[in-house]
Amino acid sequence: MAMASPANKKKPKSNQTPESQFSYNLNFYSKSKDLHSAISLYDTAISQNTRLNQHNFNTLLYLCSISLNDPSTKDLSLQYGFRVFDHMVSNGIKPNEASITAVARLAAAKGDGDYAFDLVKNIGVYNELPRLRTYDPALFCYCEKLEGDKAYEVEEHMRRIGVGLEEGEIAALLKVSVETRREERVYGYLQKLRKMVRCVREETAKVIEHWFEVFEGNGVELDVGLVREAVSRNGGGWHGLGWIGKEKWVVRRGSVDAGGKCCCCGGQLVSVDIDDDETERFAESVAGLAMEREVKANFSEFQNWLEKHANYEAIMDGANIGLYQQNFAEGGFSISQLDAVIKDLYNQSGKKRPLVILHNKRLRALLQNPSTRELIQEWIEKDVLYTTPHGSNDDWYWLYAAVKLRCWLVTNDEMRDHIFELLGSDFFVKWKERHQVRYTFVKGNLELQMPPLFSIVIQESENGSWHVPVAGDGNDSPQSWLCVSRPRSCDALKEASCMEESKDSNDSRCNSKLPTFGRPESLASCKHKLHSRDSFQESDDKITALTGKRKERSPSPS
């Protein structure tokens, strides 16, 4: 079937200039991806001294670059692509990022990664900044030719410019590292994959699989204490200390059950948190933004109070829970819903009470109501409540407390409002997945929806095993898991764990097992033990520290 020409379409105006006529026809050929007609049009324009603008040159370069995959047009693309670019530069037309990207693709198609990379390195001459797509031609060209050092140089240049890698680029770097047996590089790119994606694509999984099937290098000696300390510091799920163990890897494909147990090796996957440094930066970011928007003295007072009252393992968004499903005629603020959540958390946490963040206007109303006053006073006495002052936004307080204390946050708030957008943290989503507890009340009965028992991400265990989720139909749902283990290393860890547990069995202050509630050590650190309580203070504008003198308390939460 003959390709339609511009003459078959809507006729251009008769008074068009040669330049506008050329642009009209070129755009038509571009939309239909007709390289031959576009080249013929270009040759005619050159012979007639028609002036071309930047858009015209970029359209021609784009057509040449997308025609490289067709064997029937590849040679023509290469022949004219560089000619068009040279014509563009010689005419004083400034190339932009799109121009450079197209020519870099042409260079890579010729196998000239150096020329493609030089284009990127010199893009600043045109006051342009490269993007990921601008680097891809040189990077992939070097990787395909197994020129690892040059590929690593491209990656380093990207890092300095601030261009991040995605799975395709990491997989290419991983593959060239595997093929050239660069053990440290392979380890590093596995860690970058772990951080970047949830489930790897099948082609990426095959590269990982191949590495472990041929890799026979020895790792470091297993030091249980050192490894566990690194795992805890990093938020769980990886240690980053390098290869562990000396036996041959066993590589299998399988599944992971609902509780996170691998069906292949029996290993337990964990829930992965943000690491210690990210947590501190996150807390500082929340505090900094809060102080810009809240009364600084009020938020500083809360920070100081929290330092002295840090033995909480759950923070409750009081308004969110109290107002849940209360949008009916007789609805109001449901203290019974708050009480139900407090009791449930109290029982789940091993008799530790949560902290409820509530605005003082809510508290005053509850204290004035005879039916709720007694329960509220009991909560005040037992340090269950902190009320935020007049004019404050509760969100800053409960978010900061949950991040700073590294504990659960009970709220159905999706945290998409303006204040959460201000955070702009790439680890915010990861933090929410690990810490947010949602809830429902079905016919008055509370159901807490706890965070997942394990994270669907690449995990590096304490014994050096690896578990890699491979994407199924949905990118975030694994079709299978790649299980890579060294059996003797697993046995050594179990033996060391048994010895460690036996050693600590008589020490009631320590426990090497991870608690079911919150992160290890950080929640119940000795430096955060409660030794004092602020006195109850009330003013017209706020109720500051709603606590009484510390005394012996009954085991009941209310």
Cα 30 → chain centroid: 38
Sheet holding 466-471, edge to edge: 250-254, 478-485, 466-471, 459-460
Mean local confidence (pLDDT), 245-273: 94
Say whether both 302 and 406 belong to one domain.
yes
Domain total for the chain? 2
pLDDT at position 267: 94
Percentage of the chain lying above the pLDDT 70 cut: 83
Whether residues 303 and 189 share a domain: the answer is no
Looking at 86-90, 371-375, 479-483, which range is the least confident one?
A: 371-375
> In terms of residue numbers, what domain contains 101?
20-217
For the segment 114-135, the average pLDDT, to the nearest whole number, is 97
User: Which of 154-168, 381-395, 483-497 shows the lowest per-residue confidence on average (mean pLDDT)?
Assistant: 483-497
Residue 481 within any structural domain of the chain: no
Question: In terms of DSSP H, where are the helices of 71-214?
Answer: 71-90, 97-109, 113-121, 132-144, 148-161, 167-179, 183-196, 202-214
Confidence category of residue 175, pLDDT binned at 50, 70, 90: very high
187 shares a domain with 47:
yes
Size (the chain), residues:
558
pLDDT at 503 over 60: no
- Rounded to the nearest 10 degrees, the angle between the axes of helix 296-308 and helix 276-293 is 140
Q: Predicted confidence band at 275 (pLDDT cuts at 50, 70, 90)?
A: very high
501 belongs to a structural domain: no
Residue 269 has what pLDDT? Answer: 96
Residue 449: beta bridge partners?
438
DSSP-assigned states of every residue in 317-371: EHHHHHTTT--STT----HHHHHHHHHHHHHHTTS---EEEEEHHHHHHHHHSHH
Q: pLDDT tier at 413 (50, 70, 90 boundaries)?
A: very high
Least confident interval from 14-23, 132-141, 179-188, 217-226: 217-226
Report the alpha-carbon distance of residue 67 to residue 60 in Å, rounded. 11
More confident residue, 43 or 330: 43
Which of 402, 421, 449 is the last residue in one of the domains? 449
pLDDT band, very low/low/confident/very high, at 518 (cuts 50, 70, 90): very low
Give domain status of residue 207, yes or no.
Answer: yes
186 and 329 in a single domain? The answer is no
**Cα Rg, the chain, nearest whole Å:** 31
What's the confidence (pLDDT) of residue 222? 67
Q: Identify the residue whose tokens are 């902190």.
A: 386
- Range of weakest confidence among 73-82, 171-180, 422-431: 422-431
The one-letter amino acid code at 216 reads: E
Provide the mean pLDDT of the chain: 85
Q: Please, which residues have CB within 8 angstroms of residue 401's CB and are 6 or more apart in sequence?
A: 306, 312, 315, 355, 357, 386
User: How far does the chain reach from its first CA to its final CA, in angstroms?
Assistant: 82
- Model pLDDT, residue 516: 39
CATH of the domain at 176: 1.25.40.10
> Does 126 map to a domain?
yes
Percent of the chain at pLDDT exceeding 90 = 68
The pLDDT of residue 2 is: 45
Mean pLDDT, residues 338-356: 91
Q: Is the pLDDT of residue 278 over 60?
A: yes
Q: Say yes or no to pLDDT of 491 above 60.
A: no
Residues 281 and 184 in one domain: no
Res 544: pLDDT: 33
Instruction: Judge if 192 and 71 occupy the same domain.
Output: yes
The domain spanning residue 282 has which CATH number?
Answer: 3.40.50.11980
Strand duo 408-410 + 459-460: pairing: unpaired
pTM of this prediction?
0.81
Residues 133 and 213 in one domain: yes
Q: What is the DSSP letter of 7?
A: G
Average pLDDT over residues 276-293: 93
What per-residue confidence (pLDDT) applies to 494? 52
Residue 53 included in any domain = yes
Checking 490-496 for CB contacts under 8 A at 24+ apart, the result is 490/265, 490/267, 490/463, 490/465, 492/222, 492/245, 492/463, 493/222, 493/224, 493/462, 493/463, 496/222, 496/224
Q: pLDDT value at position 490?
A: 56
- Residue 237 within any structural domain of the chain: no
Q: Are residues 149 and 56 part of one domain?
A: yes
Give a yes or no: residue 166 inside a domain.
yes
Q: Average of pLDDT values for 143-160?
A: 98
> Of the residues 423, 449, 475, which one is the last residue of a structural domain?
449
Same domain, 212 and 324: no
Residues 412 and 319 in one domain: yes
For the chain, helix (H) and strand (E) counts, in that order, are: 22, 10
Q: Which helix (H) or strand (E) holds 379?
A: helix 370-381
Domain check: are 124 and 39 in the same one? yes
Burial letters 460-486, b for 16+ CB under 10 A, else e: bbbbbbbbbbbbeeeeeebebbbbbbb
Task: Single out the residue in 186, 217, 248 at which a domain terminates.
Answer: 217
d(C-alpha 139, C-alpha 159), whole Å: 13
Cβ atoms of 545 and 537 closer than 8 Å: yes
Average pLDDT over residues 188-209: 96
- Do residues 457 and 272 lie in contact, with contact meaning Cβ atoms separated by under 8 Å? yes
Q: Which of 26, 406, 467, 489 is nearest to 220 (CA)?
A: 489
pLDDT at 186 over 70: yes
Residue 443 lies in a domain: yes
User: Do 206 and 283 have their domain in common?
Assistant: no
Confidence of residue 117 (pLDDT cuts 50, 70, 90): very high
pLDDT band at 81 (very low <50, low <70, confident <90, very high): very high
Count CB neighbours of 411 within 10 A.
Answer: 25
**Under a CB-based contact definition with an 8 Å cutoff, are residues 245 and 222 in contact?**
yes
